[in-house]
Amino acid sequence: MKKVTHFTFAVGVLFSLTFIACGEKFTPLTQEQINAQVDSLFNAQKDAKLAELQAACQSGLEAQVNAAVEAKKAASAETAAK
């Protein structure tokens, strides 16, 4: 039983020393650093998202125009049939 206790204690100490020795100290970011990171992420994703939204808008517009054209064709075909 003593061996298990000593082994557990030794593992705990080794585990603690590992985290203490290799860890980098935490330094909070300043507001300027946070703003710089947010701006860089926004600028990196802005162009791709804008292109995606423009493509979706264009395809939606084309679908609406095609539906209106088909409706006009159907209406004119009904009128011509009478």
pLDDT tens per residue across span 17-27:
677 656 667 78
Using alpha carbons only, what angle is made at residue 58 by residues 56 and 62, rounded to the nearest 5 degrees?
A: 115
Using alpha carbons only, what angle is made at residue 81 by residues 78 and 82, rounded to the nearest 5 degrees?
A: 95
* pLDDT tens by residue, 32-69: 999 999 999 999 999 999 999 998 888 888 888 888 89
Q: What tokens appear for 52 in the block? A: 């995606």
pLDDT for 24 equals: 67
How far, CA to CA in Å, does 19 sit from each of 10, 27, 37?
14, 17, 28
User: Taking the domains of the chain in order of start, what are their residue ranges?
Assistant: 2-81
pLDDT for 23 equals: 62
Can you tell me the distance from the alpha carbon of 14 to that of 21, in angstroms, rounded to the nearest whole number? 10
Residue with the larger pLDDT of the pair 42 and 12: 42
How many Å from the N-terminal Cα to the C-terminal Cα in the chain?
A: 101
